[in-house]
Amino acid sequence: MSSQEELRTPIDTMSASDCKGGLTFMPIPDRPDFPKEEEKTLAYWKDIDAFQEGLRQSKGKEPYNFYDGPPFATGLPHYGHILAGTIKDVVCRHAHQRGYHVERRFGWDCHGVPVEGIIDAKLNIKGRGDVLAMGIDKYNEECRSVVLQYTQEWRRIVERFGRWIDFDNDYKTMDLSYMESIWWVFKELFKKGLVYRSFRVMAFSTALSTPLSNFEVQLNYKEVSDPSIIVQFKMTDTENSWLLAWTTTPWTLPSNLALCVNPEFTYLRVKKKADGQEWIVGKDRWGWVCSSIKKDPVADFEVLEEIVGAKLVGIQYEPLFPYFKEKLKDSMDKVWHVVSDKYVTAAAGTCIVHQAPAFGEDDYRVCVKFGIVQKDGTGMLQPIDDCGCFLADVVDFKGQYVKAADKDIKEMLKKNGNLVYSGMEVHNYPHCWRSETPLIYRAVPAWFVKVEEARDKLIANNNQTHWVPSFVKEKRFHNWLQDARDWCVSRNRYWGAPIPLWVSADFEEVVCIGSVAELEEYAGRKITDIHRHFIDDITIPSKQGKGVLKRIDEVFDCWFESGSMPYSSKHYPFENKEDFEKGFPANFIAEGLDQTRGWFYTLMVLSTHLFDKPAFKNLICNGLVLAADGKKMSKRLKNYPDPTDMCNLYGADAVRMYMCNSPVVRAEPLKFREEGVKDMIKDVFLPWYNAYRFFVQQVARYEGDTGKFVPDPSRIKKSSNPMDKWVNASMHHLIKFVRDEMDAYRLYTVVGGLTELLENLTNWYVRLNRDRMRGNSGQEEALTSLCTLYDLLLNLSVLLSPVVPFITEMMYQNLARALPDGHPMKAKSVHFVMVPEFDPDVLDDDIQRAVGRMQKLVELGRTCREHKKVSLKTPLKKMTVFNKDPQFMSDIQPLQTYIEEELNVMEVVYSTDTEKISLTATPNFKVLGKKLGSDMKKVQETVKQLDQDALTKFEKEGTITVCGYEITSEEMSLGRVIKDLADPNFYSNGDSETLAILDFTPDEDLMRMALCRDIANRVQKLRKEAKLQPDDDVDMWASVVDAKKGSKLQDALDKMTDYIDKLLRRHLNITEQRRGTEEVVIEEVFEIEKEKLKVCITKKA
């Protein structure tokens, strides 16, 4: 068989004869190569057309509707995409396994600046003029040509990470059907009177030459250093008198039209003692001004009078620059005067704010109020172009980019005697989320969708949804909706869905088109594409005698396009009308925290306007994936491992489990560490795999000794073994837990519960039942324990399959060989198997509590050993357990054998006498840090002084007040210590309910037993080195090299033969006397306690 054929041979297609000796299960390798196994699984899924086959099987079942937000295909997927995709995949796989039909279509965001940016760089496009010179048709077709350049790479990476989603039946925002539904959405809003055009000061991207919506502004704030200057404006009616204003945007000063004071503030008129110059400045900021210019307010100035702000209104001043004096000569009674408004604060500056209405929202509002400019922009000075460069009016700075001109403007102010102070201000400032350039605020005409009047409806619809975590919905999103602003949906761009408005030259006659057919009626031709260059030539005759109506220049904000996804991806209402309306709102969506003010918001706005419903019922919001150092992941800095490398090194399952088992699934940040992925292999997958491998080996042994292994669930329920009862109860509790928690979309609890059972499986059940499974307690007990372990492994493969789809498929294919045809859990793929029902009859709380107590007790004992630096191979004489609860004792005593084995103690003694035991409290300062702040040390000292009565009360009630703070049991833990433990050979350790004391007194017999464990350990290591299987037919020999009189090693070999055999679970020949004809498999000499032990393994004759 070729390697390619071998790759494509799934385990479940092999017959029993393929197995060694006709055994039920295929033998499995000692060391798994998880990435290679995943490649085999991918090939198997492809062979059986697994994803589509699953959809075919679920056809006709109740639909579970899921919306997948569209990413751009102009770059490769990063960990943020992989994380969100994994969350979506986990939920959708689980929904399928709960009996739903889950359609999953991939989508592509095809329009907007990311695409245009590629073409601009390729063709050296600098601005609108270059695009128009080239032609919008050629420009848009260039954009179309690069839109899908990475789709195949996306598909490869997404599928390699195990996500099942339909790429062949995807949706694209540039498709005619998608864009037509966008038009339908917009026309519905237009018909409801929700669309209007307005002249407004908005955040403006000079890099993109377009305004941005208010929620886009919130996406990208950065800390920057900007100029901080105090400028003096000369009053015209008083000689040598000046008004002081402060600004961080010197470039707006050429456009100044007024100065604004707060009518209720007190202002000072001060005189400089040096030259008699007078200033007017806010009283509350006078100290800051003097500090900035390094002057003494008393020694250098005289306060002439205090003036209330309202009395300053109307004072005229000279403009700083002469550029617009001629243009505004007929408005001199209004411009360059003092005005007032309460928006002026004393938090910064001079309490006098310079007004440039073209570049500030409050400036515009105040100047309209005082009649300086009109609502339609008449009278406004806006001497910059769409790229943010000064026009010819500003002769001294013509052609300069506004931010770059700050330096030259300051120089001119200084030269003209207007610059009082020049410094720098560090503050957070909004940047364009697409181009990373600083935004400016600029008055522009734009098209808006009304949102403010729908705030109550938005909040009511938000209250109908379920978010994980809930605080994102209840705080961040709710607060955003509470202050929601009307949405600017127009963009002055080219490659996007055109806004379907045809208007007269005066904008008084407007026709909104809602479908291709409607436009075809006006065009008189067939229309197969509605991008700008296909429809901008179409005109509509005016019904009001205004000539012809032409389409407006703008295209839609890409957020409007993605917010229309529920309707447009289905081409609603032109197709799939019944299906859509049955399945709306969606059952589930998921994206990152950054979409709170993006996709989540636009979905909610549009669905509320269209149907007065939320667009979704359930939402999982993930946090950001950061580099290991907590910084943003950067391709330039290469500060994170490549996702493909992670797959090749560790496998996709490890990355999926690492992310799903982290705080990132509850909207907290994840510092992505390669070590974390590696630890997932080491701490979860390998122990799980080894338990599975051990099971397969022991079934092979059982079938060799007894007969065919047939899983029998009834045998598990009849078992009297406490560990069988415990692990079976744990598994059925987990099945119930997974069902309940997945219904609540709490992935972080689900994955934690699954890994906890895996840990109990590997670290407790298998280890404590090894001998039973090996037949040491008889074949009936072996079969019962193997049936229990089989049931556990099979159910875990189903429950874990949505999270780790590869390793579960690999295990399931082998495990399913034991199931008869027709069994409900037998299928071509684990992903076709329904989540099992839990059995309420086996949910035994008593056994779970008892084993939980046993586990805690064993952990207390292990900690004692660690502190005393005595390994588990050294037997100890006694362990004494103190607990005043009789129920505790009755829980623990039936499990005593396990405690003795796990801690390697000869005897466990119980006592309810707790008189000498006292409580100790340990505050959890990691949790308490924010709460306590600077009082942390005081609380710590007070906790140390708490008496036993206070601690006993805290134990009972769960809360205590310390230094005025209420502290809960989650914030402070209790332990137990014993008084006057004088013997240095005794060591104690306690938790909130129990104290354990281990006796470390040296003992000759115990030391001999420790040596035996050392011997057995060396033999086992040699067997492992020889890669021997448990059923390999070999003899083992051991002898002391050059044994001297009194040899401790020889003494242990002579006197403890049975104990060594018990440890090895097979016979060790204590002699060198071999016939000499045996074939040696492996031989080695080990040093133990400064003596030499020779171990030899030979084939049986």
- What Å distances lie between residue 968 and 749, 925, 957, 962, CA to CA? 22, 12, 9, 11
Whether omega for the bond prior to residue 573 falls within 30 degrees of 0, making it cis, is yes
- Alpha carbon 941 to its chain centroid, in Å, reads 38
Question: Is 635 one of the annotated active-site residues of the chain?
Answer: yes
Say which DSSP state 473 is in: I
Of the listed 184, 246, 433, 599, which one is catalytic?
Answer: 599
109 carries an active-site annotation:
yes
Phi, psi for 827 (deg, rounded to 5): -155, 170
Chain centroid to Cα 458, Å, comes to: 25
Q: Which of 89, 109, 120, 557 is catalytic?
A: 109
- Tell me whether residue 288 is one of the annotated catalytic residues: no
| DSSP H/E element including 695 | helix 686-705
Instruction: Using the Cα atoms of residue 815, residue 646, residue 680 and residue 691 in order, give the sign of their dihedral.
Output: positive
How many Å apart are CA 728 and CA 788, to the nearest integer?
Answer: 7
Copy the structure tokens of residue 153.
């790479």
Q: Rounded to an integer, what distance in angstroms lies between the CA atom of residue 886 and that of residue 561?
A: 67
Q: What is the dihedral of CA 513, 516, 518, 520, to 10 degrees?
A: 120
Residue 325 CA to residue 395 CA, distance in Å, equals 13
Length of the chain counted residue by residue: 1101
Kindly name the residue from 70, 250, 585, 875 that is annotated as catalytic: 70
Distance of alpha carbon 704 from alpha carbon 20, whole angstroms: 11
- 956 is known as an active-site residue: no
Burial annotation 28-63 (CB, 10 A radius, 16+ → b, else e):
beeebebbebbbbbbebbeebebbebbbeebeeeeb
Question: Rounded distance, CA 503 to CA 549, Å?
Answer: 5
Residues 6+ apart with CB under 8 A from 41: 805, 806, 809, 810
| Calpha distance 337→318 (Å, rounded) | 9
Contacts of 421 (CB under 8 A, 6+ apart): 228, 229, 230, 289, 292, 293
632 is catalytic: yes
Residue with tokens 């579960």: 808
Distance CA 1071, CA 1051 (A): 13
Report yes or no: 1066 and 990 within 8 Å, Cβ to Cβ: no
Element (H, E) at 1080: strand 1080-1088
Q: Which residue shows structure tokens 């705030």?
A: 455
Strands 510-512 and 501-503 come out as antiparallel
Q: Which of 183, 559, 688, 764 is catalytic?
A: 559
Largest CA distance in the chain: 125
CA distance 710 to 766: 19
CA terminus-to-terminus distance, the chain: 35
| Neighbour-count burial for 415-442, b at 16+ CB within 10 Å, e otherwise | eeebbbbbeeeeeebbbbbbeeebbbbb
Catalytic (active-site) positions: 70, 109, 559, 595, 599, 632, 635
